[in-house]
């Protein structure tokens, strides 16, 4: 469990190397910046080093703030993009982090991004998808058209149930410590969620079923 972010980053970089090889590309680049090595325990960075990923931002000494400033000066939409924790943070403690689950979560969150949401997570509770949307965007998630689209998309990915967490998006909701940090830290992990309920229980998954029409 303590190596979740390391394993997740190794998996994703492995996929990138496979694609690079197919395209005849020798070098894989990563987004590690000059701030990252000093931000405490970051197992994901160990994977970057072991797989010999080139980090141009780190090599040039460019910090996270400078990356945002450069993006803003070029009118890039990613200038104020929120930081995203590693995909393994979507898997409750007690469930094995597998390539299948990581791929499913990645594809599930893609549909939320396509609908224009900015603050969100899809938590994989082993057959149940718990969708979290930022509180200021939660009202839009009640749109029946969105509910139908996300339910169809996520059930196609293999989820049996799709729910909307009415508490909204919050970091660390599958971790009792309430922490969900970036690429590196898997956080304080055990088999319960932030509310003290076992991951995957009815109490832990208090949300609206996205397979149903919302009353008007």
Kindly give the interhelix angle for 99-114 and 4-23, rounded to the nearest 10 degrees: 80
Alpha carbon distance 128, 126 (integer Å): 6
- Tell me the pLDDT tens digit for each residue of 26-43: 999 999 999 988 766 677
Measured CA to CA, the distance from residue 216 to residue 213 in angstroms comes to: 9
- Rounded CA-CA distance 98/135 in Å is 30
Q: Would you state the pLDDT for residue 7?
A: 81
Query: In the chain, where are the structural domains located?
Result: 4-80, 87-209
CB 92 within 8 A of CB 193: yes
Report if pTM > 0.75: no
pLDDT of residue 41: 65
Helix (H, G, I), strand (E, B) or coil at 116: coil
**DSSP-derived secondary structure for 19-34:** HHHHHT----B----T
Spans of the chain below 50 pLDDT: 1-2, 176-179, 181-208, 211-216
- Do residues 82 and 121 lie in contact, with contact meaning Cβ atoms separated by under 8 Å? no
Tell me if 184 sits within 8 A of 46, measured CB to CB: no
- Extract the tokens encoding 210: 């996205």
CA distance 214 to 140: 12
């Amino acid at each position: 469990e303590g190596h979740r972010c390391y394993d997740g980053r190794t998996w994703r970089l492995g996929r990138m190397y496979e694609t690079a090889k197919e395209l005849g590309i020798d070098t894989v680049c990563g987004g590690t910046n000059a701030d990252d090595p000093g931000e405490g325990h970051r197992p994901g960075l160990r994977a970057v080093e072991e797989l010999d990923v080139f980090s141009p931002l780190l090599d040039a000494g460019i910090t996270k703030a400078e990356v945002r400033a450069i993006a803003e000066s070029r009118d890039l939409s990613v200038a104020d993009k929120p930081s995203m924790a590693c995909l393994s943070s979507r898997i409750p403690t007690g469930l094995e982090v597998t390539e299948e689950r990581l791929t499913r979560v990645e594809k599930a969150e893609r549909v939320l991004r396509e609908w224009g949401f900015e603050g969100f997570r899809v938590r994989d509770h082993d057959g149940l998808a718990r969708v979290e949307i930022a509180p200021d965007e939660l009202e839009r998630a009640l749109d029946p058209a969105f509910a139908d689209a996300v339910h169809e998309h996520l059930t196609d990915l293999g989820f049996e149930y799709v729910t909307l967490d009415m508490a909204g998006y919050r970091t660390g909701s599958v971790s009792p410590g309430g922490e969900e940090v970036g690429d590196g830290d898997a956080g304080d992990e055990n088999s319960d969620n932030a509310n003290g309920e076992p991951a995957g229980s009815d109490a832990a998954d208090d949300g609206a079923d996205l397979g149903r029409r919302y009353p008007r």
